[in-house]
Amino acid sequence: MSEAMIIRGGHILDMASGTDTVGDLRIEDGRISGIGHVDLSGASDVIDAAGKYVVPGLIDFHVHAFEGGSMFGCDTDMEIPSGVTTAVDAGTTGCAAYESMHSLIHSRKMRIFSLLNISSMGQLGKGFNENMDPELVQAEKITELVKKYPDEIRGIKVRISRNIVGSWGDVPLRKAIETAGKLGLPVCVHSTDPCIPMEDVACILRKGDILCHVFHGLGSTILDEAGHVKAGLRKAHDRGVLMDAANGRNNFAFGVAREALAQSFLPDIISTDLTAATMSQGKTVRNLLFVMSKYLNMGMSIAEVVERTTAVPARAIGLTDGSGSLAAGGRADVAVLDLIDQECDFADSKKEILHGTKMLTCLMTVQNGQILYDSNQLAHA
């Protein structure tokens, strides 16, 4: 019999299966083999999780992972001590440099998926925006890469800020949707200071597409002049367009987020938009737990926040191996978290500060049944 690990007596939150209960988790051969009252025999590790939250390994749906190939690129393994087991690179690379990105992905412990930039050059860094001439989109090369790496490339990314698309307007967005449509992939749209009104962007998107930076505060936002969430955004959401509150330094404003939450317009996904400049530093992003804590301090529940960093992002990129869930038989990606009383300041793109009193911390990260991080030596043979 193979050796098993038991995580005992934790508060299990698995929103994919609607599990919100105190119980045990049994892990064997990289899989969840039991949940609730589990068989304790043959366990090599018994981890006491009493008073802690046991959740699926977190999925950071928007990061910039192309370290060395883009000035935005960061070492996503640095998020492992934050309970993150899976990250999605949001268009740092286009097809020109994708083979390098592919090699880098396989040198990391973090499991990384990609949203391929519609622009061949991808996002090189601050001050070097990608060329958005739709005539330069290399659909054949994109198709070739998607067919070569179907388990890795899960969508197409396009940025439509006014300073990026210039006179092309919404043509690149339509081109991205057309290209992704032929490949059966979703489109993820960077929407800060959009070239057309936010409601028009939302209206163009299809079910399963992702509108990222949904709480940005530059140019046209999701709010009308009276501060109400625009009807077009609600309609798109009802159709199945996913709203991703990818944070970043410049893509999140408390003024927008607070109004939206007060009007029950919650994000579907919460992610960081981490870059080399924000990884583990500053008051805007730091890591996924920091961004999740921001929403707890704005009044969302831990179950709501966990769902948006596990079950929903797993669905958004079509993960079918049990990622984002703790259901028996699925892949054993698990995080043990604690919610502590801690004063903390959170900043937004307009330098507004939220004084928080709650902070999520991570005690253990398990990926595919292996302990990658154990802050307090919880595990013992």
Q: Which helix (H) or strand (E) holds 105?
A: helix 98-105
Q: Which is nearer to Zn ion, 123 or 220 (CB)?
A: 123
State the burial class of residue 247 (Cβ atoms within 10 Å of its Cβ: 0-12, 13-18, 19+): buried
Q: Which is nearer to Zn ion, 90 or 288 (CB)?
A: 90
Q: Which is nearer to Zn ion, 43 or 90 (CB)?
A: 90
Q: Do residues 360 and 293 make contact, with C-beta atoms less than 8 angstroms apart? A: yes
- Among 84-92, 136-144, 153-161, 327-335, the segment contacting Zn ion (CB under 5 A): 84-92
Rounded Cα distance between 247 and 244, Å, is 9
Total interface residues for Zn ion by CB under 5 A: 2
- Among 82-90, 108-116, 306-314, 321-329, the segment contacting Zn ion (CB under 5 A): 82-90
Strands 43-48 vs 4-14: parallel, antiparallel or unpaired: parallel
Q: Which is nearer to Zn ion, 90 or 256 (CB)?
A: 90
Give me the least distance between CB of 271 and Zn ion, in Å please.
Answer: 9
Instruction: Find the Cα–Cα–Cα–Cα dihedral 274, 271, 96, 164, rounded to 10°.
Output: -80
Question: Sheet harboring 242-244: ordered strands across?
Answer: 58-63, 84-90, 111-117, 153-159, 187-190, 210-212, 242-244
Q: Which is nearer to Zn ion, 14 or 273 (CB)?
A: 273
- End-to-end Cα distance, the chain: 17
Contacts of 154 (CB under 8 A, 6+ apart): 88, 113, 114, 115, 185, 186, 317, 318
Rounded Cα distance between 220 and 241, Å, is 18
Scored b (16 or more CB within 10 A) or e, 181-197 reads eebebbbbbbbbbbbbe
Give me the least distance between CB of 131 and Zn ion, in Å please.
Answer: 18
- Among 13-21, 271-279, 328-336, 343-351, the segment contacting Zn ion (CB under 5 A): 271-279
Of residues 236, 285, 288, 302, the one with CA closest to residue 265: 236
Rounded Cα distance between 187 and 199, Å, is 16
Rounded to 5°, the CA angle 332-50-6 comes to 35
Q: Which is nearer to Zn ion, 56 or 122 (CB)?
A: 122
Give me the least distance between CB of 62 and Zn ion, in Å please.
Answer: 6
Give me the least distance between CB of 125 and Zn ion, in Å please.
Answer: 12
Give me the least distance between CB of 276 and Zn ion, in Å please.
Answer: 12
- Among 89-97, 113-121, 203-211, 226-234, the segment contacting Zn ion (CB under 5 A): 89-97
**Which residues are bridge partners to 341 per DSSP?**
358
- Among 2-10, 90-98, 193-201, 234-242, the segment contacting Zn ion (CB under 5 A): 90-98
Q: Which is nearer to Zn ion, 90 or 266 (CB)?
A: 90
Give me the least distance between CB of 248 and Zn ion, in Å please.
Answer: 6
Give me the least distance between CB of 16 and Zn ion, in Å please.
Answer: 25
Give me the least distance between CB of 339 and Zn ion, in Å please.
Answer: 27
Q: Which is nearer to Zn ion, 273 or 307 (CB)?
A: 273
**Near Zn ion in 334-353, by CB under 5 A:** none
Among 27, 65, 90, 364, binds Zn ion (CB under 5 A): 90
Rounded Cα distance between 153 and 317, Å, is 9
Nearest residue to Zn ion, scored by beta-carbon proximity: 273
Give me the least distance between CB of 284 and Zn ion, in Å please.
Answer: 13
Of residues 22, 94, 31, the one with CA closest to residue 54: 22
DSSP helix/strand/coil, 220: coil
Among 89, 273, 307, 333, binds Zn ion (CB under 5 A): 273
Q: Which is nearer to Zn ion, 222 or 366 (CB)?
A: 222
Give me the least distance between CB of 109 and Zn ion, in Å please.
Answer: 22
Q: Which is nearer to Zn ion, 268 or 273 (CB)?
A: 273
- Among 144-152, 172-180, 270-278, 321-329, the segment contacting Zn ion (CB under 5 A): 270-278
- Among 20-28, 35-43, 52-60, 267-275, the segment contacting Zn ion (CB under 5 A): 267-275
Q: Which residues bind Zn ion (CB under 5 A)?
A: 90, 273
